[in-house]
């Protein structure tokens, strides 16, 4: 028997599976969908909630000095002035005049660099990226356009290089608050959750009597008007972020940065992403707020791409909020310095970990999707048991002779401990297959022997092995295997 998942799995396989088995649907599909917006179905929402719970617990339960908040999506407009998003949250876009298709200029050049790398010319690739970085930083957009032309980059649809000029496009969505047009003021849908944490920094620090170093975690929606959004839930216009801002003493930020880099990689491995499909990617071009930045990348069917960013954000955000709000953002550090006096007031530095819940979902799904070929073909989702939408399915061998009632009774007795379903429809083999396709780790079969001696068989999803166990042992046996503890213990 041979097994394969990515790389021979394509994104199309994943999209089709996600739709067919209730994980992800295109948004408002009956109206032909809305580009780059997706809905999670009955199994998808469970998997996503489990991922969010794993992250939340890994942050707040495993660390005494990290607490969570849930800030609003709407924020005072000055927030986005202070954060730099009003002036700087832009992507360079370019249109092809023949196909009328829009592209991100940086992505066209990155694609070319990837081509050079694949052709065994990594130096040429690096030189191109360096040049692009320099031109973009200097806002030399006409030269970025020239670079695209010089590199003979053509539109994949029209195959021409009939390009417009390059323009900066702000990614924030805006809307109005207030019922009367004259009173209405423009506000933004937040493009990241981080700012909700920064503006609450002192509220949390004071009300929670938090001492630096400490962190604030948050899970929530973010919105970006992405220019090119063609990779399923990898790049959406409405998505969910899981961010944690860790406030540290200035000067200690690099130590914490290294620390979080390692801890976050461990998290991804603990939820089941193999080390061989994860890598760090240091940023060549640092964002306006960062003095160090790295991405954790996962190998999707379309290559290694970012799932999480870890940034050392200095005191950029708090300092700017202090300036615009005229409210002090300082922390009083009571610890003693080398001179024996209290260190006193300072604006903390921040190390941020920022992961997309949807990208983590896609990585998890791509990694779990397994096709076994050979004598008997089988497709199943090899999800970590704690992440699986359904933990156990109870299946009576036949409906008659009291087996159905017995199976229902067992399912009911397990429901309060973990998500259990009862299924009596169709041949038992078909029912196993249905559970395999959504990643249910345990199938419990109720047969005639059950009626005689109170035992059932447990069929294990990955090995398909069956073992006979007493009904009275089910709760404990399955309960631990599917618990979040299993993930948290690995971090």
Q: Is 352 in the site for ligand ATP (CB under 6 A)?
A: no
Closest CB to ligand ATP among 187 and 293?
Answer: 293
Residue number with the smallest Cβ distance to ligand ATP: 356
Q: Is 39 in the site for ligand ATP (CB under 6 A)?
A: no
Q: Distance between CA 22 and CA 38 in Å, rounded?
A: 12
Helix 403-415 and helix 474-481, axial crossing angle in degrees, nearest 10: 50
Q: Which of 39, 110, 258, 306 binds ligand ATP (CB under 6 A)?
A: 306
- Interstrand relation of 378-381 and 392-396 (parallel, antiparallel or unpaired): unpaired
Q: Distance between CA 314 and CA 352 in Å, rounded?
A: 10
Q: Is 265 in the site for ligand ATP (CB under 6 A)?
A: no
Closest distance between ligand ATP and the C-beta of residue 245, in Å? Answer: 13
Closest CB to ligand ATP among 296 and 403?
Answer: 296
Do residues 273 and 363 make contact, with C-beta atoms less than 8 angstroms apart?
yes
Interacting stretch for ligand ATP, rule CB under 6 A, among 73-81, 137-145, 236-244, 474-482? 236-244
Closest CB to ligand ATP among 224 and 406?
Answer: 224
Q: Which of 307, 347, 365, 366 binds ligand ATP (CB under 6 A)?
A: 307
Interacting stretch for ligand ATP, rule CB under 6 A, among 137-145, 247-255, 306-314, 472-480? 306-314
Closest distance between ligand ATP and the C-beta of residue 448, in Å? Answer: 51
Q: Is 356 in the site for ligand ATP (CB under 6 A)?
A: yes
Do residues 144 and 131 make contact, with C-beta atoms less than 8 angstroms apart?
no
Considering only residues 239-258, where is the footprint of ligand ATP by CB under 6 A? 239, 241
Assign residue 246 a region (left: φ > 0; alpha: ψ between -120 and 50; beta: otherwise): beta
Closest distance between ligand ATP and the C-beta of residue 171, in Å? Answer: 9
Q: Is 355 in the site for ligand ATP (CB under 6 A)?
A: yes
Do residues 385 and 47 make contact, with C-beta atoms less than 8 angstroms apart?
no
293 Cβ contact list (under 8 Å, min separation 6)? 282, 283, 286, 287, 309, 310, 311, 312
Count the residues of the shown chain that bind ligand ATP, applying the rule CB under 6 A. 16
Q: Which of 151, 358, 436, 447 binds ligand ATP (CB under 6 A)?
A: 358
Q: Is 220 in the site for ligand ATP (CB under 6 A)?
A: no
Q: Is 364 in the site for ligand ATP (CB under 6 A)?
A: no
Q: Is 297 in the site for ligand ATP (CB under 6 A)?
A: no
Q: Is 83 in the site for ligand ATP (CB under 6 A)?
A: no
Q: Which residues pair with 214 in a beta bridge?
A: 247
CA 313 to chain CA mean position, Å? 20
Q: Distance between CA 162 and CA 95 in Å, rounded?
A: 9
173 Cβ contact list (under 8 Å, min separation 6)? 188, 189, 223, 224, 225, 237
Q: Which of 105, 136, 148, 236 binds ligand ATP (CB under 6 A)?
A: 236
Site map 134..153 versus ligand ATP, x via CB under 6 A: --------------------
Closest distance between ligand ATP and the C-beta of residue 79, in Å? Answer: 16
Interacting stretch for ligand ATP, rule CB under 6 A, among 37-45, 272-280, 354-362, 454-462? 354-362
Interacting stretch for ligand ATP, rule CB under 6 A, among 17-25, 307-315, 389-397, 472-480? 307-315
Task: Give buried/exposed letters for 31-58 (b at 16+ CB in 10 A, else e).
Answer: eeeeebebebbebbebbbebbbbbbbeb
Q: Which of 48, 112, 235, 406 binds ligand ATP (CB under 6 A)?
A: 235
Q: Is 424 in the site for ligand ATP (CB under 6 A)?
A: no
Q: Is 190 in the site for ligand ATP (CB under 6 A)?
A: no
Q: Distance between CA 424 and CA 218 in Å, rounded?
A: 41
Please choose, from the candidates 144, 292, 171, the residue with its C-alpha nearest in 3D space to the C-alpha of residue 227.
171
H or E element in which residue 50 lies: helix 42-56
74 Cβ contact list (under 8 Å, min separation 6)? 177, 187, 188, 189, 190
Q: Is 71 in the site for ligand ATP (CB under 6 A)?
A: no
Closest distance between ligand ATP and the C-beta of residue 258, in Å? Answer: 18
Each as own residue / partner, the long-range contacts of residues 2-5 (CB below 8 Å, 24 or more positions apart, any chain) are 2/372, 2/373, 2/374, 3/370, 3/371, 3/372, 4/370, 4/371, 4/373, 5/366, 5/367, 5/368, 5/369, 5/370, 5/371, 5/382
Site map 308..327 versus ligand ATP, x via CB under 6 A: xx------------------
Which residue ranges make up the site for ligand ATP (CB under 6 A)?
192, 224, 226, 235-236, 239, 241, 306-309, 354-356, 358-359
């Amino acid at each position: 028997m041979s097994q394969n998942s990515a790389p021979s799995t394509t994104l199309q396989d994943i999209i089709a599976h996600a739709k067919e088995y209730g994980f992800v649907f295109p948004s408002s599909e009956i109206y032909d969908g809305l580009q780059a917006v997706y809905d999670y179905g009955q199994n998808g929402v469970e998997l996503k909630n489990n991922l969010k719970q794993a992250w939340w617990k890994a942050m707040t339960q495993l660390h005494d000095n990290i607490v969570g908040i849930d800030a609003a999506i709407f924020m005072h407009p000055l927030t986005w002035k202070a954060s730099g998003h009003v002036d700087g949250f832009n992507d360079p876009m370019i249109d092809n005049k023949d196909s009328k298709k829009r592209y991100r200029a940086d992505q066209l050049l990155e694609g070319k660099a990837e081509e050079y790398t694949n052709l065994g010319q990594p130096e040429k690739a690096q030189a191109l990226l360096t040049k692009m970085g320099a031109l973009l930083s200097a806002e030399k957009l006409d030269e970025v356009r020239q670079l695209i032309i010089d590199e003979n980059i053509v539109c994949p649809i029209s195959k021409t290089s009939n390009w417009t000029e390059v323009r900066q496009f702000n990614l924030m969505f805006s809307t109005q608050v207030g019922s009367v047009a004259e009173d209405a003021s423009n506000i933004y849908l937040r493009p990241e959750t981080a700012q909700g944490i920064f503006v609450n920094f002192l509220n949390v620090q004071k009300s929670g009597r938090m001492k630096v170093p400490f962190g604030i975690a948050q899970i929530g929606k973010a919105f970006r008007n992405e220019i090119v959004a063609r990779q399923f839930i990898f790049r959406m216009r409405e998505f969910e972020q899981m961010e944690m801002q860790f406030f540290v003493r200035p000067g200690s930020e690099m130590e914490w940065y290294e620390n979080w880099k390692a801890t976050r990689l461990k998290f991804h491995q603990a939820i089941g992403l193999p080390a061989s499909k994860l890598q760090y990617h240091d940023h060549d071009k640092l964002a306006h707020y960062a003095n160090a930045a790295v991405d954790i990348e996962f190998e999707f069917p379309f290559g290694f791409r970012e799932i999480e960013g870890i940034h050392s954000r200095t005191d950029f955000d708090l300092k700017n909020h202090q300036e615009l709000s005229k409210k002090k953002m300082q922390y009083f550090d009571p610890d003693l310095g080398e001179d024996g006096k209290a260190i006193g007031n300072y604006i903390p530095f921040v190390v941020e970990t920022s992961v997309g819940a949807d990208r983590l979902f896609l990585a998890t799904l791509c990694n779990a999707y397994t096709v076994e070929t050979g004598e008997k073909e089988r497709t199943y989702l090899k999800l970590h048991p704690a992440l699986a939408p359904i933990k156990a399915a109870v299946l009576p061998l036949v409906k008659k002779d009291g087996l159905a009632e017995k199976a229902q009774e067992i399912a009911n007795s397990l429901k309060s401990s973990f998500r259990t379903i009862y299924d009596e429809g169709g041949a038992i083999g078909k029912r196993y297959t249905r559970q395999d396709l959504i990643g249910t780790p345990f199938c419990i079969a109720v047969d005639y022997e059950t009626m005689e001696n109170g035992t059932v068989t447990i069929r294990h999803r990955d090995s398909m092995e069956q073992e006979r166990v007493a009904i009275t042992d089910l709760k404990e046996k399955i309960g631990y295997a599917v618990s979040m503890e299993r993930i948290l213990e690995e971090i």
